[in-house]
Structure 1
Amino acid sequence: MSDAIETKTQLRREPPGALGATSSSSTRGLGPDYQLAVQEAMAGRYARARELYRGLLDEDLAESARWFVRNDLAVLNAMQGKLEASRAELKDVIDGCPGWIVAKKNAASVHSAMNAAATSEMPASCRRSNSSREGSRAPCKISILSFLFNWPSTGGGIVHTVELVDFLGRAGYIVEHVHAKYEPWGIGRVDDTLPIRSIGIEFDNRSWNVPTIQAAFRRAVDQFEADVVIITDCWNFKPYLAQAVEAYPYVIRQQALECICPLNNLRLLIDAPNRVRQCAMNQFTAPDHCTTCLADNGVRSGQLHIAERELSRVGSSQYRDLLYRTYLGADAVLVLNPLIQAELRPYCESVEVVTWGMDPDRFPWPSTSEHEDGDSNGTLTLLMAGAAEELIKGLHVLRAACREVWRVRQDFRLRITSRSIHNAEEFIQCIGWQSQEELPTRIREADIIVMPTIAQEGLGRSTVEAMGAARPVIASAIGGLPYTVSHGVNGLLFEPGDADDLARQIVRLLDDPDERRRMGLAGRRRFETEFTWPVVIEDQYRPLLSRILHAKR
């Protein structure tokens, strides 16, 4: 593969012509570390080479030199077989300097290699034949099932599902998304902005029962003739969908703590307004405790949670047996962090940490100008993105922290993606709900992203979006957030619910523009290598699906 891609020596001789740079100007400031990175890569010491290249991106490079380094990183990815990551990197390079022939040649080579790899890695029954005499065989089919689905959605799980359908399709799979439509529950409402094709199965009061729902989803999968089924966007009803399609290889996609916590998927107990307790129990290990908890606290759940639990018969011996059987029978259970993995491992054959991906086109590499601090008056912007009106998001903690900081300094404002806040302080600016198209711009306009959640989030989508925009994050040290935000590297962590601790972290970043920039760039590097959809598909979903399909044979 490396022979098909322009080598490092050729790259140094042929700079990005679109930038009007000469060879010497394009590599100005790279110095000996660049030469060493090239040597390490050509010697096969990829980890060391990647470390040197990433270090160069932290420096204040000329723009042409930065494209040089990113092109080399794309080549390095290709040399290691990470073709999706290489393709995504080269797309950014070509967008930034469209006249650079070398990058275009590299992209063409990667594209050819991806086509060859996709064909060779597929089981024979799922390959496209190159011979017209053999006939054309269908590519692998993946059916993705959602029980609780609406669009547009403010929920990160549903956004993840839509993008998963999209990017699996781009990777060469044939994907069909199926969702339930039941108006009394307000589910299945989809407008014409949904960017994927989705089949809605309509139910009425007479057909809204477990056997009929199972039969309808099974028919959809049968008609599609799926090779693999992925079950997602479902709470306690997951085992029933798994039972419906158990004749197929199936994967259970956990979006949070669903089926672990039958109360609210978050193991959060609300005793009084702004008073919460964390729960450490697990329905798999302590089902009787969870049943008692539901009896004591179930009425405080939202109506959809209550209705879904009743339909699923949570707490019955039949439900427990089905829960254990379907999770054990899954070809894989995908979770968002190692904590959830550890809790489910005793009850599953295979539990894998597979993150949510992000669309890299929503977060192009920030230009130098986007790292300017504050507005024209030097006022810095904190941004809390998400459903701020929900107690679990922790706005009350953030407001208390900001009040404490405001007493001694007034050089910041807090933007919230909410229409209005009762008795809002003077430092609060409500900007309303932001669509998926609008949100990246709002994040890039901010200097610091804050995620003050008091719930055990699986991942924290807002933190990853902040990383995509090269913005530092201040987040609660709870759930999966410490696995996304590394304290002192790409952001800061604080004790959940502790406004004083949060205030200290806010002041630390307000006072240090260099640290803000360093953390933002570190987050961007991790975003590119771990969280973009091309990388997630190539490094996680493709090996998983390949293994399942080979086992099916």
Structure 2
Amino acid sequence: MKNKPKVLFVMHMPPPVHGAAMMGQYIHDSEIINRDFECRYINPSASRVVAEVGKVSIRKIFFLVSHIVSVVYTIITFRPDLCYYTPTSSGWGVFRDMMMILLLKLFKRKIILHLHNKGVSECSGNMLYDFAYKRIFSCVKVILLAKELYPDVDKYVSQKYLYICPNGIPSSNHQYKKRNSIHNPYTFLFLSNMIETKGVLDVIRACGMLKKQGLIFKCNFVGRWSTVTAERFNQVADENDVSMQVEYKGPKYGNEKTEELKCADALVFPTYYPGETFGLVLLEAMEYGLPCISSNVGGIPTVVDNGVTGFLIEPMGVEKLADKMKWLIQNPEIGMDMGDMGHKRFEEKFTLQIFEQNLAAILSDACKC
């Protein structure tokens, strides 16, 4: 029997819970990946909660030293054919990643980088970042989540070394059935950590505009407090006179999150987060037949088919956000059709099984090259 290719995965896994970490966990648990390759997994994350991501501490420095030792030991003993690494795009982590990737190159390993964030083009004008990026991206293959993200790295990565692999999420066990009615009142859902640049406060302000127009609706917010605190959330709700229309429901997982998706008529995710690339929450909403209003940033246009499965607006466009929310309230039947189209798009392109198959094919090709 032919030996399976050996792959060392150096990638983030929870905690903390965020998109890249969840994808790392899916890869770690993948039957397809573990069937087709002999795998070793190392988690480079020293952060325990989302708020610690990107911050330097003494504990993280000690963790980095032990992490380097672990990687070196695994390379020597495991001798992987390919090293899979998930680098960051900005902040001090770029220089940490440069050191780790140069170490992998020192051992003459084939390397493939899977980018779950963006920001390279914004930082490349800085001499130190430019120095790091040139060393990170030389002689490696690169996976992006969507073709729209290529301009972020085109200065350093040739298209001949590029792969596109959209994210996917596990299909739930629920039997999908197209919605034939809306909730009373029409219910929007915001589902993400309470980070201001994810658009939390923009949604509240848009709700204020809807109320001034006499529209009847509700908007639930699900996620952990972060840069937006309870005090700030309530302050903006009071300022916009929507304390009765918006409700913070806390973080929800598993069946509790499923119930929030079932109790909603549409998802609102007007993110302008600097590193936004894909938005897994959009896939969750699409699986449950929800039309999505999101931002024309990162790879989100790959996910949301504008005017077909939802709407894309320019980031920080509160008035446009309110307009699209109003449109869905006033056109519920068309909104349900959009949600149904979104579910079909999810099944065709964004299930976890499709992601695993695509990634396995990419890794197999990278091992041969």
Write the distance in 2 (CA, Å) between the matches of 1:429 and 1:226. Answer: 50
Aligned pair partner of 2:212 in 404, 407, 412: 407
Is 1:216 the counterpart of 2:70 in the alignment?
yes
Aligned to 1:157: 20
**Contact 2:17 / 2:49 at 8 angstroms: preserved in 1?**
no
Aligned to 1:367: 177
Residue 410 of structure 1 and its aligned partner are, at CA, apart by: 4.6
Aligned pair partner of 2:99 in 240, 243, 248: 240
- Measured at CA, do residues 342 and 141 of structure 1 come closer, stay the same or move farther in structure 2, by a change above 3 Å? same
Write the distance in 1 (CA, Å) between the matches of 2:255 and 2:39. Answer: 24
Is 1:384 the counterpart of 2:190 in the alignment?
yes
Residue 460 of structure 1 and its aligned partner are, at CA, apart by: 1.4
**Contact 1:345 / 1:351 at 8 angstroms: preserved in 2?**
no
**Contact 2:112 / 2:366 at 8 angstroms: preserved in 1?**
no
Deviations 1:410-449 (A, max 9, x none): 5311000147432441101221101255433322221000
Write the distance in 2 (CA, Å) between the matches of 1:338 and 1:166. Answer: 26
**Greater RCO, CA 8 A, separation 6+:** 2
Aligned pair partner of 1:282 in 122, 129, 143: 122
- Measured at CA, do residues 454 and 154 of structure 1 come closer, stay the same or move farther in structure 2, by a change above 3 Å? same
**Contact 2:115 / 2:143 at 8 angstroms: preserved in 1?**
yes
Deviations 1:128-180 (A, max 9, x none): x2xxxxxxx5433322113x6542x3311101111122224465333332124
- Measured at CA, do residues 507 and 187 of structure 1 come closer, stay the same or move farther in structure 2, by a change above 3 Å? closer
Larger radius of gyration between Structure 1 and Structure 2: 1
Is 1:532 the counterpart of 2:344 in the alignment?
no
Residue 328 of structure 1 and its aligned partner are, at CA, apart by: 1.7
Aligned to 1:46: none
* TM-score normalized with structure 2 length: 0.82
- Measured at CA, do residues 154 and 422 of structure 1 come closer, stay the same or move farther in structure 2, by a change above 3 Å? farther
Write the distance in 1 (CA, Å) between the matches of 2:173 and 2:20. Answer: 19
Write the distance in 1 (CA, Å) between the matches of 2:39 and 2:174. Answer: 27
Deviations 1:180-238 (A, max 9, x none): 475xx6589xxxxxxxxxxxxxx96885566x643431212333332222112644132
Structure 2 residue identity aligned to 1:283: C
The 5 Å alignment of 1:506-525 reads: 506-525=325-344
Write the distance in 1 (CA, Å) between the matches of 2:173 and 2:307. Answer: 23
**Contact 1:416 / 1:432 at 8 angstroms: preserved in 2?**
yes
Aligned pair partner of 2:164 in 353, 358, 368: 353
Residue 241 of structure 1 aligns to a residue whose secondary structure is: helix
Gaps of 5+ in 1: 1-128, 130-136, 189-202, 261-280, 289-314
Is 1:140 the counterpart of 2:5 in the alignment?
yes
* TM-score normalized with structure 1 length: 0.56
Aligned pair partner of 1:458 in 265, 274, 277: 277
Aligned pair partner of 1:545 in 330, 354, 363: 363
Q: How many residues align?
A: 338
Residue 43 of structure 2 aligns to a residue whose secondary structure is: strand
Write the distance in 1 (CA, Å) between the matches of 2:28 and 2:192. Answer: 23
Residue 364 of structure 1 and its aligned partner are, at CA, apart by: 4.1
**Contact 1:470 / 1:524 at 8 angstroms: preserved in 2?**
yes
**Contact 2:278 / 2:299 at 8 angstroms: preserved in 1?**
yes
Aligned to 1:225: 79
Write the distance in 2 (CA, Å) between the matches of 1:162 and 1:320. Answer: 31
Which consecutive segments of 4 or more residues in structure 1 shift more than 6 A?
203-206
Deviations 1:286-310 (A, max 9, x none): 224xxxxxxxxxxxxxxxxxxxxxx
**Contact 1:363 / 1:440 at 8 angstroms: preserved in 2?**
no
Alpha carbon RMSD of aligned pairs, Å? 2.7
Write the distance in 2 (CA, Å) between the matches of 1:244 and 1:414. Answer: 49
**Contact 2:147 / 2:164 at 8 angstroms: preserved in 1?**
yes
Deviations 1:65-106 (A, max 9, x none): xxxxxxxxxxxxxxxxxxxxxxxxxxxxxxxxxxxxxxxxxx
Write the distance in 2 (CA, Å) between the matches of 1:473 and 1:449. Answer: 5
Residue 391 of structure 1 and its aligned partner are, at CA, apart by: 1.3
**Contact 2:14 / 2:25 at 8 angstroms: preserved in 1?**
no
Aligned to 1:179: 43
Write the distance in 1 (CA, Å) between the matches of 2:315 and 2:268. Answer: 12
**Contact 1:474 / 1:491 at 8 angstroms: preserved in 2?**
yes
Write the distance in 2 (CA, Å) between the matches of 1:398 and 1:339. Answer: 25
**Contact 2:118 / 2:152 at 8 angstroms: preserved in 1?**
no
Residue 386 of structure 1 and its aligned partner are, at CA, apart by: 0.4
Write the distance in 1 (CA, Å) between the matches of 2:155 and 2:318. Answer: 37
- Measured at CA, do residues 346 and 209 of structure 1 come closer, stay the same or move farther in structure 2, by a change above 3 Å? same
Residue 154 of structure 1 aligns to a residue whose secondary structure is: coil
Gaps of 5+ in 2: 51-57, 225-229, 238-242
Identity %: 18
**Contact 1:472 / 1:520 at 8 angstroms: preserved in 2?**
yes
Write the distance in 2 (CA, Å) between the matches of 1:532 and 1:231. Answer: 22
Residue 154 of structure 2 aligns to a residue whose secondary structure is: helix
**Contact 2:36 / 2:360 at 8 angstroms: preserved in 1?**
no
Residue 349 of structure 2 aligns to a residue whose secondary structure is: helix
Write the distance in 2 (CA, Å) between the matches of 1:179 and 1:548. Answer: 21
- Measured at CA, do residues 408 and 462 of structure 1 come closer, stay the same or move farther in structure 2, by a change above 3 Å? same
The 5 Å alignment of 1:200-349 reads: 207=62, 213-232=67-86, 234=88, 235-236=93-94, 237-246=96-105, 247-257=108-118, 260=120, 281-284=121-124, 286-288=125-127, 315=128, 320-330=130-140, 332-349=141-158
Write the distance in 2 (CA, Å) between the matches of 1:404 and 1:232. Answer: 41
**Contact 1:383 / 1:450 at 8 angstroms: preserved in 2?**
yes
Q: Could you tell which deviates more after superposition, 221-230 or 451-460?
A: 221-230
